[in-house]
Amino acid sequence: AEFYIVFRDSTRPSRCVFYVQDWADNITIDSVSYNPVGSIDTMPPLIRRVDTTVTSWTFQVTDERNIPPQPLPCPTVTPQIESGLQSIELLASAASRNIGLVRLDSLSKDSLRPTLRARFRCFVADPKSDAQGVFEVVDHRGNRSRDSVRYSAPTSIATEDAHRLRSWYDGSSLHVECPDDFPMWRVSITDLTGRVIATDVGTTPHRTIPMNLSCGVYLVVIQSEQTAVSASFVVWH
């Protein structure tokens, strides 16, 4: 008997494991692999900012510039094939300080199933201090893309008002109180990764913000044009 194995996409590496069985249940297992000839990847990943808050930035990285495969200029017509994302890292140098990075999606190490899209978030570790960071995205062929974020702390930190800031969580809402003479403008509640849970904008010194919080430590940041006050609180059930 004869049979054929056909790979659906001739532009990507492929592998097939098959077996042959007779009526006596004897089984022979074999496999075939295919590697496209001359495929290369010279296009770096594309970084796009999808969300921004006071203390965090969310990015989406794509490695899809060569979908469908793109031919190279003459004299060669070798197709460009995406190799997939390999790493997303914050560069540890003097250019990065007071910034953290967390990957929101995992990256595949399997060349047959490359990761073509992934998200990550950069966040300010301490909102009271300036922050900046440079991060780098690399695909499996070594193509690199870099971007950066920068955060400027408010011009003055009202440490003398911090003890007058009261915040507590009653199980369904967060209550924030400041003195009547404090110019409240924006209230942000973040977790320890810098992810913003909720925001509220206004000028009244007493706020009730409905929200559902799980157990953990959170940070309340109140900002006006010239002043910022922050305080942490713990939620347990």
Question: Domain with 169 in it: what CATH number?
Answer: 2.60.40.3080
Q: How far is CA 225 from CA 129, 171, 203, in A?
A: 16, 31, 12
Do 191 and 222 fall into the same domain? Answer: yes
Do 189 and 129 fall into the same domain? Answer: no
Last residue of a domain, one of 151, 176, 200: 151
Residue 210 confidence (pLDDT): 87
- Indicate whether 169 belongs to any domain: yes
Last residue of a domain, one of 132, 151, 170: 151
**Model-level pTM?**
0.51
Do 144 and 169 fall into the same domain? Answer: no
We report the CATH number of the domain holding residue 93 as 2.60.40
Residue 187 has pLDDT above 80, yes or no: yes
Residue 138 has pLDDT above 80, yes or no: yes
Of 177, 130, 131, the C-alpha closest to 155 is 130
Do 69 and 135 fall into the same domain? Answer: yes
Do 107 and 178 fall into the same domain? Answer: no
Query: Three-state SS for 161?
Result: helix
More confident residue, 140 or 94: 140
Residue 76 has pLDDT above 50, yes or no: no
- Indicate whether 183 belongs to any domain: yes
Cα 224–Cα 125–Cα 200 angle in degrees, nearest 5: 35
Do 105 and 131 fall into the same domain? Answer: yes
Count of structural domains within the chain: 2
Residue 170 confidence (pLDDT): 84
Residue 41 has pLDDT above 80, yes or no: no
Q: Amino acid identity, residue 32?
A: V
Residue 225 confidence (pLDDT): 64
207 contacts: CB under 8 Å, gap ≥ 6: 174, 175, 176, 177, 184, 187, 200
Residue 39 confidence (pLDDT): 59
- Residue 105 CA to residue 151 CA, distance in Å, equals 24
* Mean of pLDDT values over 178-192: 73
Last residue of a domain, one of 151, 179, 210: 151
Do 165 and 226 fall into the same domain? Answer: yes
- Indicate whether 4 belongs to any domain: no
Q: Which ranges of 120-209 would DSSP assign to H, the alpha helix?
A: 159-162
Do 62 and 107 fall into the same domain? Answer: yes
Residue 160 has pLDDT above 60, yes or no: no
* Tokens describing residue 96: 């990065």
Four-CA torsion 149, 153, 154, 160, nearest 10 degrees: 160
Do 123 and 63 fall into the same domain? Answer: yes
| Strand boundaries in 5-153, DSSP class E | 14-21, 27-34, 46-52, 56-62, 70-71, 79-80, 85-90, 99-103, 117-124, 131-139, 144-151
Question: What letter does residue 160 receive in the DSSP assignment?
Answer: H
Cα 101–Cα 57–Cα 138 angle in degrees, nearest 5: 50
- Indicate whether 17 belongs to any domain: no
More confident residue, 166 or 27: 27
- Indicate whether 13 belongs to any domain: no
Do 169 and 220 fall into the same domain? Answer: yes
| Lowest model confidence (mean pLDDT) among 2-16, 60-74, 99-113 | 60-74
* Mean of pLDDT values over 199-206: 78
Residue 60 confidence (pLDDT): 94
Residue 220 confidence (pLDDT): 83
Residue 86 confidence (pLDDT): 93
Q: Residue 162: pLDDT band by 50, 70, 90 thresholds?
A: low
Instruction: State residue 34 phi and psi, 5-degree precision.
Output: -135, 130
Q: Give residue 202's domain range.
A: 156-235
Do 113 and 210 fall into the same domain? Answer: no
Do 66 and 131 fall into the same domain? Answer: yes
- Residue 175 CA to residue 198 CA, distance in Å, equals 13
- Indicate whether 114 belongs to any domain: yes
Cα 159–Cα 195–Cα 185 angle in degrees, nearest 5: 45
Percent share of the chain, pLDDT over 90 = 22
